[in-house]
Amino acid sequence: MAGAWSIVARREYAEGVRSRWFVISTVLGPLLMGGIIALSVALELRGSGKPVRVALVDEASPDLGALVQTTLQESTVGEPARFLVEPVVGEAASRTALDARVESGEVDGYLVLPADIIVSGHASYVGTDASSTVDMARLSSRVEKAVIRSRAKALGLKPDDTRSLLAHVDLDTRQANGEGASGGAAFGMAYGAAILLYMTILLYGITVMRSVIQEKTSRVLEVIVACASPWNLMVGKLIGVGAVGLTQMGCWLGAAGLLAAFRGPILARFGVHGAQHIALPSVGAGPVAIVVLYFLAGYALYSAVYAAVGAMNNSERDAQQAQMPITFLLVGAFMCFPVISAAPRDPAAVALSLVPFFSPVLMPMRTFLTPVPLWQLAASVALLVGSIVAVTWAAARIYRVGILMYGKKPTLGELLRWIRAG
Amino acid sequence: MTDTVIDLAGVTKRYAEHLAVDGLSLRVPAGVIYGLLGPNGAGKTTTIRMINDIVRPDEGRILLFGSTPPGREALRRIGYLPEERGLYPKMTVRRVLVFLAELRGLPRAEIMPRVERWLARLELTEWIDRKVESLSKGMQQKVQFVAAVIHEPDLLVLDEPFSGLDPINADLLREIVREQRTKGKTILFSTHLMEHAEQMCDDVCIIARAHKVLDGKLRDIKRDAQAARNRVVVELGGAHGDEVPALLRPGSDTGIAYARSVANGYELTLSQGAPTAALLRRLLDAGEEVVRFEHAAPTLHEIFVERVRDTSGSAPEGG
C-alpha cells in the first residue's frame, strides 16, 4: 500500500490542477506578462521617432540661449536628436501665452533659463511630457552641458578644449557573477525573481491554509484522520500543493521562454517590427535552479506555518486575519529589495539574506546582483532547512490538535501547550 | 462467535476543561450490532474517536480484533461513518470514493467495481460524476456510508448513522447494516435515539456523563428491567370511582405495594416477588370485568431515562 501521504498528495495535486483558478491563472499569467511587455516595447519603439518640441525662454543672455539650442538639437553617438527648439521672446515668452501653447499641443513644453542660471545652476521646464523620465534625463543633461560650456567660455577655454573636456564617457556595467548580464538586466532579473518568489510562496502558502480550512469546515477531516495520521496528512498536503505550484511555475517559465523565442512574430502582430533583434539577457540553468530551490524551501517554511494557522481557525475569515503576521513577514522580505539592490555586498544585505523567513526571497535576488560566496549560500540553505524542520515539527503538533477543534480560537498559551504536549 | 472485536479496559480521556470518558470498560463480541447509547455529551463520540485512533486515551487500554491496538494495522479492517459528516464539496462522487478507499488501503484495481456496485445499491449511480456539492444532504450521507463500507471492514463504526435521513433511506441503511451482521461483520453504532437502538441492537451500552450506566444483551436488560419494575396498569369495567377499590389496595394479602388512581384505571406497584398472574386471577375470581391488564415491558427509552436520571445525582461531575 502506498504511504498515506502520497495518496493525500496525489489528491491535492489532481484537484489543484483541475481547479478553475489554476487554469485561469496559468493561462492568464503569461498572456498578461506578454501583453505588458509587448505594450511597453511598442510604446518605446513608436515613441522614439517623434521629437520633443520645446519653446525656449532665455532670460540670461542670447549667447547662452543659442548654446542651449545647439546642444539640445545636436546628435551624439547612439543618441539621435530628440529636441526641436523654438526660441521665444517678448509677448510670446509670457507664461500665459506659453501655457496656452502647451495646452493646445502646439509645443510639448517650454524651458526657462533664468537670468542667474550660470551662478545658481537652476533652470525650469514645464511640459506635458515632464513625467517621461528618459526625455527629462536627456533634457537635464544637455542643459547642464550647455551651461558648463558657457562657464568654460567665461573662464577662457577654447571651444575645442571644452569639447574634449566634455567628451562622452560610456560606462558599460557588467555583472561579475559569471552570467555576463549587463547591470540593468541583472537588476531586472533580480527584481523579477523576487516578485516571482514572493508571489508564488504567498499564493501557495495561502492555498495550503485554505485547503486546511475547507477540510475543517466541510467536516471531511474526521474521516480522513481516521485513515491517515495528521503528520501524513499535513506532509501530503504540502507536497501536493507544492507540486501544483511547481507545475504552474513550470508553465509560466516555459511560456516566458516561448515568448522570448518567438518575440519577433508575436510583436509583429502588434505592429512592432524588428523586435527579434532586441537582445535579451540569457538565463542559464544555474539561476533557474536557485529560484526553484528557494521556492521549494520558502514554500515549505511558509506553508507549514500557514497549515498551522488554518488548523487553529474555524472559518476562512478568522484565518485571513490570523495569517496577516505571517504574510507581513513575506511582504517585509520583499520590501528589503531596495536595501539589497543598493548594496548587495553590504553586511546588512548579507545578514538579511541569511534570515530564514527572508532568505527565500532575498538570497536568489542577491545571486542575480552580485557573486554570492558559496559559504553564504550554504549557510542560508542550512538555516532554512533547520527552520523548516523546527517549524514543520511545531506546525504538525498544532495541526494535529487544531484540526479537531471546532470551538473557540486557541490562545497563545494553549498553542504552546499543544506544541509541548506532542 | 465469542471473539471480542472491541475491548476497552478502564479507558479515560480528559480534555483541558472536562472529563470526556472516565474509566470506561466494555466488550463488543464479534458478529453483533452493538449500540452505544447516551445523551448528548455523554462521551460517545470521544469513545468512537479513540477506537478510530483519532484521539488517544489518557489511561486504559483498547484492543481491537483481539490483539491490535487502534492505528495503522487496524485501519483496513474498520469502516467509520463519523457524526461530523462531510466530503470534499468540489470533488466528484467517484473521485472522493476512490480517494477514501485508497486511504483505507484498498488496491486501486478493486476500487471502481465496488464503487459502482455500492452506488447502484444506494440508488446513486447517475450521480457518480457529479460534484459532491450538487448532492442533497441525504445523498451525501449515503455516499459517506459507501466510503465506510467499501473496503468490507470487519468492524463498522457508525456515529449517529440515521440522523438526517428520510425514513426510506433510513430503512435502506438499516437493511444494509443487518446484512453486514449476517455476513459476520460487527457493527458499533451510537445514537441518542432509543427507538433506533431498540430496533437494531443485539447488545447495548448506555453511558452518561463519561460513565458507563449499564451494558449487556438488550434482551437481558429489558427482562431485568421488567422484572425489577413490577408495575401494572389495570382498567376495570363497570362503575368504579376515583377511589382505588379494596381489591387493589396495598397489603400483604393483595401483594400490592403501592396503588394510585390514574386516568381510566389504576397504576399498581407489586411487592417484590409478587406474581402478576395471582393478581389477575384474584380480579377474575372476584367477578371484575378486566378491560385492561398491562404488565408492559419498559421500552429502552424508559429504561434509559430512568437509569440516566438515577445516575445524574450520584455521578461525579467531570473536572
* Interchain contact, B84 vs A2, CB within 8 Å: no
Task: Give the rounded percent of residues in chain B with a pLDDT score beyond 70.
Answer: 95
Least confident of A177-181, A361-365, A390-394: A177-181
pTM score, two decimals?
A: 0.75
Residues 177-216 of A with CB under 8 A from B: 214-215
Q: By the CB < 8 Å criterion, does A74 face chain B?
A: no
| Mean pLDDT value of segment A159-173 | 76
Task: Give the rounded percent of residues in chain A with a pLDDT score beyond 90.
Answer: 16
Instruction: Determine the Cα angle at A300 with ends A295 and A306, to 5°.
Output: 115
3-state SS, B38-63, equals CCCCCCHHHHHHHHCCCCCCCEEEEE
Greatest mean pLDDT among A409-418, B82-91, B98-107:
B98-107
- Residue A256's pLDDT band (boundaries 50, 70, 90)? confident
Strand order of the β-sheet with A83-88 is A83-88, A52-58, A109-113, A124-127
* Interchain contact, A226 vs B90, CB within 8 Å: no
Query: Does the pLDDT of residue A177 top 70, yes or no?
Result: no
| Mean pLDDT value of segment B279-287 | 87
- Residue B316's pLDDT band (boundaries 50, 70, 90)? very low
Q: Partners of B59 in the beta sheet?
A: B12
Query: Does the pLDDT of residue B258 top 70, yes or no?
Result: yes
- The answer to whether residues B172 and B122 touch, using CB atoms and an 8 Å cutoff, is yes
Least confident of A320-324, B15-19, B193-197: B15-19
Q: How far apart are CA A377 and CA A367, in angstroms?
A: 9
Of residues B251 and B141, more confidence is placed in: B141
- Annotate B253-266 with DSSP letters as a single string: TTTEEEEEEETTEE
Query: Does the pLDDT of residue A1 top 50, yes or no?
Result: no
Contacts of residue A225 in chain B, CB cutoff 8 Å? 54
Q: By the CB < 8 Å criterion, does A421 face chain B?
A: no
Q: How far is B163 from chain A (nearest CA, A)?
A: 16
Q: How far is B108 from chain A (nearest CA, A)?
A: 10
- Residue A275's pLDDT band (boundaries 50, 70, 90)? low
pLDDT for B6: 94
| Mean pLDDT value of segment A91-103 | 86
| Mean pLDDT value of segment A109-131 | 85
Buried b (16+ CB within 10 A) or exposed e, B237-247: eeeeeeebbeb
| Mean pLDDT value of segment B264-268 | 83
Q: By the CB < 8 Å criterion, does A24 face chain B?
A: no
Closest CA relative to residue A76, chosen from A138, A127, A152: A138
pLDDT for B46: 92
* Interchain contact, A7 vs B89, CB within 8 Å: no
- Give Cβ neighbours of residue A198 (< 8 Å, ≥ 6 apart): A330, A331, A333, A334, A361
- Residue A176's pLDDT band (boundaries 50, 70, 90)? low
Query: Does the pLDDT of residue B314 top 80, yes or no?
Result: no
pLDDT for A240: 95
Query: Does the pLDDT of residue A404 top 80, yes or no?
Result: no
- Residue B93's pLDDT band (boundaries 50, 70, 90)? very high
Q: From residue B160, give the alpha-carbon distance in Å to each of B35, B81, B165, B189.
A: 10, 8, 11, 7
Q: How far apart are CA A281 and CA A175, in angstroms?
A: 11
Minimum Cα–Cα distance from B84: chain A residue: A219
Query: Does the pLDDT of residue A2 top 60, yes or no?
Result: no
| Mean pLDDT value of segment A260-279 | 65
pLDDT for B17: 75
Provide the mean pLDDT of chain B.
87
Q: How far is B95 from chain A (nearest CA, A)?
A: 9
- Residue A367's pLDDT band (boundaries 50, 70, 90)? confident
Contacts of residue A7 in chain B, CB cutoff 8 Å? 99, 102-103
Taking only the tens place, the pLDDT of each residue in A306-330 is: 999 988 888 888 888 888 999 999 9
Provide the mean pLDDT of chain A.
82
Q: By the CB < 8 Å criterion, does A225 face chain B?
A: yes
Cell of A376: 553564504
Torsion of CA A51, A277, A171, A44, to 10 degrees: 30
Q: How far is B254 from chain A (nearest CA, A)?
A: 59
Task: Give the rounded percent of residues in chain B with a pLDDT score beyond 90.
Answer: 48
pLDDT for B81: 94
Please report the sign of the dihedral spanned by the C-alpha atoms of residue A148, residue A154, residue A155, residue A156. positive
Query: CA neighbours within 13 Å on the CB side: how many for B278?
Result: 10
- Residue B178's pLDDT band (boundaries 50, 70, 90)? very high
pLDDT for B209: 87
Query: Does the pLDDT of residue A181 top 80, yes or no?
Result: no
Query: Does the pLDDT of residue A171 top 80, yes or no?
Result: no
Q: How far is A406 from chain B (nearest CA, A)?
A: 11
| Mean pLDDT value of segment B187-197 | 89
Q: From residue A72, give the alpha-carbon distance in Å to each of A55, A83, A135, A137, A166.
A: 12, 6, 11, 12, 15
Of residues A187 and A126, more confidence is placed in: A126
Q: By the CB < 8 Å criterion, does A316 face chain B?
A: no
Greatest mean pLDDT among A249-253, A373-377, B179-183:
B179-183
* Interchain contact, A14 vs B86, CB within 8 Å: no
Query: Does the pLDDT of residue B45 top 80, yes or no?
Result: yes
| Mean pLDDT value of segment A335-360 | 87
Taking only the tens place, the pLDDT of each residue in B146-160 is: 999 999 999 999 999
Closest CA relative to residue B55, chosen from B104, B22, B13, B5: B13
- Residue A282's pLDDT band (boundaries 50, 70, 90)? low
Domains, in order of start, for chain A? 4-35+181-421 (no CATH), 50-165 (3.40.190)
* Interchain contact, B84 vs A219, CB within 8 Å: yes
Query: Does the pLDDT of residue B84 top 90, yes or no?
Result: no
Contacts of residue A226 in chain B, CB cutoff 8 Å? 52-54, 78, 80, 82
**Chain B residues bordering chain A (beta-carbon distance below 8 Å):** 16, 52-55, 75, 78, 80-91, 95, 99-100, 102-105, 144, 147-148
Considering only CB atoms, A225 lies closest to which of B54, B102, B147, namely B54
* Interchain contact, A19 vs B90, CB within 8 Å: yes
* Interchain contact, A7 vs B16, CB within 8 Å: no
